[in-house]
């Protein structure tokens, strides 16, 4: 199968799970014999733009005629069997959807975030969940300056959302929308998207096969050190009686983490590490902790922990509640509940409990999140989209 994959890469200085998923999906397909051509723009290039081009960027993010023309030429030359769209913001824009459909090609798109409904793409405000714009014109996102704390920068994003939802751009030009979790699917349905358009396919995590031996020796936090990730809650909940806390990552709360490590020898802050090193630390964990205060669309860290046979304590919020089976593969706690988080960590740091939950977590990974299962699911979605598009074309519904 020939696949055209479209993605606007995030800035290289900004860790991106989406970039990782796109690269892995392309690798899974290529390794199984499919032809994959990646049509990409890179947000790093914005810094090199002229002042005029940067000024026009908000308009380009709504509709890029240049990318529509460029992609049309490439599609005519390559003639893929299917087009798989990931992130289109801010350089590609939804114009690429029309280019693909005008060439008579089926289109699938992965809903990595909530950008089709929310100015900041994460349904979050003031460090917690916010659904004020779900199913509505997103003027509240402008009023609150939800994108980068700026009303001026939020306005073009909210305008683009309103325009494309009014014209049903994503529902008209996309054959199948892929949600990484039931939670994401439910939010888009609440936002007015047709249920029959959206299928759920969780992300996969590649794994070398090496798993934890024994109960592990530390609680591990791996992620951005921010309020919305619950890192401040973790610091408040932490007690040296729980053992050792290893922190991997960086962010606005790095100073607080370093200060805590200076006064509490049970806390170790490693900062940002290469992915392979992160996995090495994770494999030796007693438990991984994901105390998020805002929605997660999936939770790669949870599945990475499961792959290594490590249980997880996570917030009962968003997709995390789907991934962690309370009392079986870890524990769920309420967000912004330091006492509940401390108790959950106390349960999972017990060696026998950690081992038992870790074994079940590893089995869940093998049953649901391996590259082989991801590839099979992707191929099924592609085949179904191609068949549905052909049927729509015969009946005159595809445009």
Q: Which of 34, 35, 58, 37 is nearest to 46 (CA)?
A: 58
pLDDT digits (tens, 9 = 90+) for 107-122: 999 999 999 999 999 9
Query: Can you give the pLDDT at residue 316?
Result: 97
Q: Where are the alpha helices (DSSP H) in 264-370?
A: 275-283, 300-307, 320-323, 338-348, 351-368
pLDDT at 41 > cutoff 90: yes
Categorize the per-residue pLDDT at 127 as very low, low, confident or very high, splitting at 50, 70 and 90. Answer: confident
DSSP state of 136: S
Residues in a beta bridge with 199: 178
CA distance 33 to 207: 20
What's the confidence (pLDDT) of residue 307?
97
pLDDT in tens, 50-98: 999 999 999 999 999 999 999 999 999 999 999 999 999 999 999 999 9
CA-nearest of 324, 312, 316, 317 to 295 is 317
Q: What is the pLDDT of residue 208?
A: 85
Q: Do domains 2-110+168-204+371-395 and 219-368 have the same CATH topology?
A: yes
Q: Alpha carbon of 348 to those of 37, 240, 353: distances in Å? A: 44, 15, 6
310/290 Cα distance (integer angstroms): 13
Gap between the Cα atoms of 213 and 215, Å rounded: 7
pLDDT of 46? 93
For the chain, what is the mean pLDDT? 95
φ/ψ (deg, to 5) at 240: -60, -20
Find the DSSP H helices in 79-149.
Answer: 95-102, 139-143
Residue 91 to residue 157: CA distance in whole angstroms = 13
219-368: CATH topology: Rossmann fold (3.40.50)
Give pLDDT, residue 15. Answer: 60
35 confidence band (pLDDT: 50, 70, 90)? very high
Which H or E run contains 151?
A: helix 151-166
Contact between 24 and 72 (Cβ < 8 Å): no
Contact predicate 247/266, CB 8 Å: no
Task: Write down the CATH number for the domain with range 2-110+168-204+371-395.
Answer: 3.40.50.2000
pLDDT tens-digit readout, 207-250 = 888 999 999 999 999 999 999 999 999 999 999 999 999 999 99
pLDDT band at 397 (very low <50, low <70, confident <90, very high): low
Whether residue 13 is predicted with pLDDT greater than 70 in this model: the reply is: no
Residue 394 is predicted with a pLDDT of 80
Domain boundaries, the chain: 2-110+168-204+371-395, 219-368
For residues 150-167, give the mean pLDDT: 94
Long-range CB contacts (within 8 A, 24+) of 378-385: 378/25, 378/28, 378/29, 378/201, 379/1, 381/108, 381/176, 381/178, 381/199, 381/201, 382/1, 382/3, 382/81, 382/82, 382/84, 382/108, 384/176, 385/82, 385/106, 385/107, 385/108, 385/175, 385/176
pLDDT at 399 over 60: no
What is this structure's pTM?
0.94
- The helix/strand/coil state of 17 is helix
Asked if residue 81 has a cis previous peptide bond (ω within 30° of 0), the answer is no
What pLDDT sits at residue 14? 64
pLDDT at 293: 95
**Mean pLDDT confidence for 280-286:** 97
Q: Report whether pLDDT(398) > 80.
A: no
Number of Cβ within 10 Å of residue 214's Cβ equals 11
Q: At 42, is the secondary structure helix, strand, or coil?
A: strand
Is residue 86 within 8 Å of 109, Cβ to Cβ? yes
């Amino acid at each position: 199968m020939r696949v055209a994959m479209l993605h606007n890469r995030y800035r290289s200085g900004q860790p991106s799970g989406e970039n990782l998923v796109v690269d892995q999906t392309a690798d899974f397909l290529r390794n199984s014999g499919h032809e994959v051509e990646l049509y990409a723009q890179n947000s790093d290039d914005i810094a090199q733009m002229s002042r005029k081009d940067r000024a026009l960027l908000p308009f380009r993010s709504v509709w890029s005629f240049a990318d529509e023309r460029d992609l049309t030429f490439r599609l005519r030359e390559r003639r893929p069997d299917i087009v798989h769209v990931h992130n289109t913001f801010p350089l590609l824009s939804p114009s690429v959807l029309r280019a693909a459909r005008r060439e008579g090609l089926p289109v699938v798109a992965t809903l990595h975030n909530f950008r089709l409904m929310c100015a900041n793409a994460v349904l979050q405000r003031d460090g917690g969940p916010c659904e004020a714009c779900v199913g509505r014109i997103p003027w509240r996102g402008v009023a609150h300056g939800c994108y980068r704390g700026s009303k001026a920068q939020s306005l073009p994003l909210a305008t683009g959302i309103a325009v494309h939802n009014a014209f049903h751009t994503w529902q008209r030009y996309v054959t199948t929308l892929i949600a990484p979790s039931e939670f994401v699917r439910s939010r888009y349905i609440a936002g007015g998207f047709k249920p029959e358009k959206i299928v759920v396919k969780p992300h996969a995590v590649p794994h070398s096969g090496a798993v934890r031996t024994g109960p592990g020796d530390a609680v591990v936090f791996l992620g951005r050190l921010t309020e919305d990730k619950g890192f401040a809650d973790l610091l408040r909940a932490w007690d040296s009686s729980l053992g050792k806390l290893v922190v991997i990552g960086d962010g606005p709360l790095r100073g607080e983490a370093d200060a805590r490590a200076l006064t509490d020898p049970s806390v170790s802050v490693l900062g940002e590490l290469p992915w392979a090193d992160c996995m090495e630390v994770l494999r030796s964990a007693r438990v991984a902790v994901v105390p998020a205060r805002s929605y997660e669309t999936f939770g790669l860290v949870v599945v990475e922990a499961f792959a290594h046979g490590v249980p997880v304590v996570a917030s009962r919020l968003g997709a995390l509640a789907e991934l962690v089976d309370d009392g079986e593969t870890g524990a769920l706690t309420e967000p912004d509940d330091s006492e509940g988080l401390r108790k959950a960590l106390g349960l999972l740091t017990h060696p026998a409990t950690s081992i038992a939950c870790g074994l079940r977590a590893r089995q869940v990974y093998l049953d649901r999140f391996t590259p082989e299962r991801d590839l099979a699911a992707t191929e099924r979605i592609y085949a179904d989209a191609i068949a549905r598009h052909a049927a729509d074309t015969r009946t005159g519904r595809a445009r």
